[in-house]
Amino acid sequence: MTAIAASALANSAPTAGPSGPSSNPGIANNFTAFLRLLTTQLQNQNPLEPLDTNQFTQQLVQFAQVEQQLRSNDQLETLVALQKSTQASAALDFVGKTVVISGATTHLDTAGTTVWTFSSPKPASATVTIRDSTGQTAFSSNYAINSGRQDFVWDGRGTNGQRWPAGNYTMTITAKDANGQTVAITTDVQGIVDSADVSQTPPVLSIGELTFTLDQIKRVVRPVDDVISAASALFMPKS
């Protein structure tokens, strides 16, 4: 995968334990009382007019079904709690790591650099434009790009070489092939995960002011500094 450096090219959720029968004392007590009453009735029934066995058998079955359903609900609640705990642990593991998520907007911090990843199905001539959150153009330049996935590293300096303030920036790429046909470019953003809010379901991660969930993470990559260092063989902007 190749890399483009813009600066060089252009001046707990807690786990709930399983619930036992005592978690629903009402149904347990009622079931016990029912059995006691049924036993008493059987012991004192009139031999000439015995109890309807079908009727009390149905009642027994109904009580058993209710108790089974309550136990199933307790088990489901336990599974949900375990899943939340697993998601929270996974989210915390991403803090401090460099991840790639779908999108074109990323956060530029005060330190200096930010990285986009884009993919082109074929070689093309492209215009890369970076705008701030108000839509103002911060950087724009033309490049010859190759096919495949590539990184675009921006050091936060505009086309005139002046540094732009920290904030959210969006990159757009318009590209055409050798025949002048438009080439569709897909973009991702990458950055270091600053925090994980495990109080939300699902947990929410953040890169600067950007927030996202675990299912939006496409890849975990090398730190941004390593990507910048790997950009020694750079594409030169078209004149």
Q: How far apart are CA 207 and CA 103, in angstroms?
A: 13
Q: What is the dihedral of CA 16, 18, 19, 21, to 10 degrees?
A: -170
Q: How far apart are CA 8 and CA 6, in angstroms?
A: 5
| Residues contacting 167, CB < 8 A, separation 6+ | 107, 108, 132, 133, 209
SS3 category, 52 = coil
The residues pairing with 99 across neighbouring beta strands, listed in sequence order, are 191, 220
- What is the residue extent of each domain of the chain? 2-11+95-229, 21-94
Q: Comparing C-alpha atoms, which of 130, 216, 206 is closest to residue 174?
A: 130
Contact 120/185 with Cβ under 8 angstroms?
yes
Contact 143/183 with Cβ under 8 angstroms?
no
Given the structure tokens 């921006």, which residue do they identify?
A: 154
pLDDT of residue 34: 67
pLDDT along the chain (239 residues), means of 10: 54 41 53 71 72 69 72 76 79 89 86 85 94 94 92 90 91 94 92 88 85 88 59 45
Length, in residues, of the chain: 239
Q: Does domain 2-11+95-229 have CATH number 2.60.40.4070?
A: yes
The residues pairing with 173 across neighbouring beta strands, listed in sequence order, are 128
Find the helix packing angle between 25-44 and 53-94, rounded to 10°: 160
The residues pairing with 115 across neighbouring beta strands, listed in sequence order, are 153, 190
- Biggest alpha carbon–alpha carbon distance for the chain: 109
pLDDT of residue 62: 73
What is the residue type of 174? T
SS3 category, 234 = coil
CB atoms within 10 A of CB 160: 9
